[in-house]
Structure 1
Amino acid sequence: MTIAEAVDTLMRDGMPLRFTAYDGSSVGPPDSPLGLELTTPRGLAYLMTAPGDLGMARAYVTGDLLLHGVHPGDPYDALVSLQNNLRFRAPNAPEALAVVRALGLGNLRPPPPPPQEAAPRWRRAVEGLRHSKGRDAGMISHHYDVSNRFYELVLGPSMTYTCAVYRTPEDTLEQAQAEKYDLVCRKLDLQPGQRLLDVGCGWGGMVRHAAREYGVHALGVTLSRQQASWAKEAIDREGLGDLAEVRHLDYRDVVESGFDAVSSIGLTEHIGVRNYPAYFAHLRDRLRPEGRLLNHCITRTHNRRQDIGAFLDRYVFPDGELTGSGRIITEAQDAGLEVMHEENLRRHYALTLTGWGRNLRDHWDEAVAEVGEGTARVWGLYMAGSRLAFERNEIQLHQVLATRTTADGRDGFPLRPAW
């Protein structure tokens, strides 16, 4: 049995695109514009020892599995075709044994994973308990300390790694990111001279926008040293040092209080669902009475706790967790905040990821020179897959706006939204 024949055995409706293997075998429509090529025995061992998305990711990241007909910086079209048409079936015991024998028992010995892969969760315990300060710092570094130059290539001039807000589909990525920051500022009703705390501030985009456009005194904190360094340079470059500050700091270590507003844009995904009560209580305590909190994060379509999947956990967001907007709202309310408004920006994130994928494709050679082809492949795969998930309502993006209402019921809001 050839490799292609073994693969075909596992297909419920046949291979939807052309598949070729290093043993010279092939299966699937010869005229397919898209194709999969298995180039090495190591790639086969990855597929056999980690069935599902982890094995395919390992083989793809190392170049042992190639996607033809798409650019590695933006393999979206291939993922759409595979998700629409690739259907596996569970072979019976004799079939499974025949496949394994044909492909070789030696391939059941797992090869070392690619260097871009984080350790499995059980091995991360040496860095501390899940979502402890020390372990969180390591997991954040895994993703965000890749290379500031790489992020500049992918994210564009805004250096903003969160969902943008598109007024029209024709908006540029930069216009949409500026609108996102401005929408957050308007929801928080920022006024000159007020104090803003931005937790998980990234490269300081929100801090700089709020200081520049609204005249507020803005403090941002991030666990990434590279982000903090880039943000400080940007603040100095824009002459905002009298209004804006970014610290390399865990949000749990912010001791100042009395802020007029707190923004959290893309942090909640990293803190762990079981930590939501402490998270919202800490942010509540940073606010003055009638102060506002805007929480912006990726969510699930349901409110059950669910891990993010093997590929994302090992290659993209180690220890990341997602749940639904209902859980976010519940925890904010249980912490004593009054929830005033929520908004789903799911389709906006699909458009944002389209822009990032285009940037990676257009700057592919420089990106590969900066971080290596394996890491660049991880990002192309992750962003294309995430775009598809947002488009198909498998994940969502919610903004939840809340306030620290006083004991006598003052919330600081007008009767109708002003943003």
Structure 2
Amino acid sequence: MGALPRIQDFDDPAYDPFVSDDASFGAHDDPYPQLARWREQGPVHAFDYRTALGLHPDVTMADLPAYLVLGYDAVEKVFLDPQTYSNAVYARNLGISFGRSVSTMDAPDHPRYRKIFQKAFLPNRVSAWGETLVDPGVASLMQKFSGRGRADLVQEFTHHYPFQIIYRQLNLPPADVGIFHKLAIAQTVVSYDVAHGTEASHKLGVYFKVLLQERRAHPGDDLVSLLAHAEVDGESLPEEILVSFLRQLVNAGGDTTYRGTSILLTGLLTHPDQLEAVRKDRTLIPQAIEEALRWDGPVLIATRTPAVDTELCGVKLPAGACLSVASGSANRDPSRFEDPDRFDIFRRKQRHFAFASGPHVCIGQHLARVEMTRALNAILDQLPNLRLDPDMPPPRIQGTMMRVPKHIHVRFDGALP
């Protein structure tokens, strides 16, 4: 492959976007009781979810009337009716950060371009990534602490490993990885810090355009090369849409997987009987993953806007309003899930909305499940007698918009012979 120019850091290299998680997504310990109270009062409310829970308003949506959608039936109706409930509202925030992303599109553009992207995420390719990308990423991180007998699984493992996989997917030069991650995460601050969000977006855009040119000239088996040459019915992806997808990849693929894996480990470690069941019978891993995603999925709120004046569950919604669609409320709706606040990997299977639903269902959901499966298997294999560290605070899942524990302190019996 040819040489790439170095990726450019922020004009102020001291700027640290990694401290902005609470500002972007909130630090609420448990929003579910309040969501339940609102859900009991009705499925649609005319107020802004963020400000109602004490988070700063999204400056990109400040001029729009705000509504909150709660409960399984109402959330499902919104997700499954893209003609009425449009994704175009994301152009106001995701569009600033990522550009012309498929997340901001409706039909006919959305299905047209999504079909081409899906060629890079075919099941056989995702399965192969499990061995070629996921396993090496997991191993490189775990070897740093697997012989120590104690670790912080978030700070030393889950916070890093999905991003390690993305670096391998993109085949980035190792020297670029640190600044790349910094810029990618900074795109999420646009809801309250447009200047740094747009600076990050611009610098990643410049970098990705050069990267695409280089991979078109010298293709490999990396994701950039696959997308640069993907076609459906003779149509390939325009550079603008490719760059927006690559900008979004770290946050859509890495950030949510880090959160989901951390929540899965929290659920199992705080329920040792279920952890032991999974340790003894690995066929339980898929249902453990689905329960973790349902119980406290990484993305609590999605956003939609009515394309026309409409009515939802008896409440009139004006065209162009900002709808906060509470997937987390749907996933804990007692009309669909018995004792919904309980983490229970043995509960009856029922579809959840952790990856949304309908035509905008997460394109990377299968890869996320592969990553979570292989991470959990490796942890169970290499950290014998894994348990919470009794001398450290237990994990606390936090977040108002997106959820994650900041620490999972564990002990184990040391390295295997």
Please indicate the TM-score interval, normalised by the length of the shorter structure: under 0.3
TM-score, length-scaled by structure 1:
0.26
Specify which structure has the bigger relative contact order, considering alpha-carbon pairs within 8 angstroms and separated by 6 or more residues.
2
Higher share of residues assigned helix:
2
TM-score, length-scaled by structure 2:
0.26
